[in-house]
Amino acid sequence: MLAQLIALDWGTTSLRAYKLAAGGQVLEQRSLSCGIMQLPTTPRVIAGQACTNGFELAFDEACGDWLDAQPDLPVIACGMVGSAQGWREAVYRDTPANVANLGTSLQTVRSLRGVDVHIVPGVIQRSRLPNVMRGEETQVLGVLQNLPGEAGNDLLIGLPGSHSKWVEVADGCIMHFDTFMTGEVFAVLSEHSILGRTQQRGASFDGEAFDRGVHVALSVDGEIGPLSTLFSARSLGLTGELSATAQPDYLSGLLIGHELSALADVLRRRRNNVHLPSIILIGNAQLCARYQRALDACGFTRVTLAEQATERGLWQLAVAAELIPAHPSR
């Protein structure tokens, strides 16, 4: 099949490139460790010009050969590439944000190859404690495009990761979202705190230890908050109740349990204790499996997983921006 679009998910630590055919079908994909904070630095010639720009170098490494074969392929990108530290800033859109309309607000940067890279804007929630997202809005669109009309009216979309996002949507709009720095806190504690000194990482997943951490977060002991219960990841090891290989998964369960406990509490308050919403998870399969396990313990009974949300979302935005036809001729 002939490619019709190059779609980039360009974040802080990684760059994922997709070559898409009609309907957003993935023909080929690549993942590079070329996020905006670790761009290539080795100069090389691109389109006959000596280049030292990290964004140009990463872009060429990711899909230069695709463009050699089809120079007229349109390119669309989402994520931190559109931040103030990115290749070209794409200004945030305010909530409530109609995700399908983001395709009319793309920012463009011309590459050395003469190809325009169209960058999707992020979304900002202005409040006393403002909240922002870049990339997740595209994944939300990818999910919504595959749902029946009524299915999106009582829905929470979860995007586990370094900075987990929980997005409330209604009528195709991002209405509200919360961010939890759970993944980053886990990494910092494991690598730079005393909790990591007794951990032994690399073992297979210890479901029992993970569940124990979740249940501690949900228990009376957890009501005092994570700053108190976190120390148990060390003390249980010192008393011989938690092995070195079990400690990372216990800590993971503890942090995810506190995240989801807080999320459930705030949702119940917002909804006046009406039932918790259906949840669709997007992200790494292994991490989503952990969250699905913990969500069940927290009382979220309607949880499903979405696949290829980024690719589908970028395809839909490219159609909205008229970079590609909605119904290509065959």
Position 149 scores a pLDDT of 63
Position 180 scores a pLDDT of 98
Tell me: the pLDDT tens digits for 155-198? 899 999 999 999 999 989 999 999 999 999 999 999 999 999 99
- Ramachandran category for residue 249: left, alpha or beta (phi over 0 → left; psi -120 to 50 → alpha): alpha
User: Any idea where the domains of the chain sit in the sequence?
Assistant: 5-146+310-320, 180-305
Under DSSP, the state recorded for 225 is: -
Asked whether 105 and 121 are in contact (CB, 8 A), the reply is yes
Q: What is the CATH number of domain 180-305?
A: 3.30.420.310
Position 175 scores a pLDDT of 95
Position 296 scores a pLDDT of 95
5-146+310-320 matches 180-305 in fold: yes
**Burial degree of 132 (CB within 10 A; 0-12, 13-18, 19+):** middle
Position 301 scores a pLDDT of 85
Residues in the chain with pLDDT values less than 50:
330
Average pLDDT, rounded, for the chain: 94
Position 153 scores a pLDDT of 66
Q: What is the CATH number of domain 5-146+310-320?
A: 3.30.420.300
Name residues whose C-beta falls within 8 Å of residue 47's C-beta, 6 or more positions apart in sequence.
112, 113, 114
Using the structure block, give the residue that is written with the tokens 């802080």.
12
Position 256 scores a pLDDT of 98
Using the structure block, give the residue that is written with the tokens 């230890």.
209
Asked whether 293 and 210 are in contact (CB, 8 A), the reply is yes
Q: Which residues pair with 278 in a beta bridge?
A: 155
Position 330 scores a pLDDT of 47
Helix (H, G, I), strand (E, B) or coil at 52: coil
Position 37 scores a pLDDT of 95
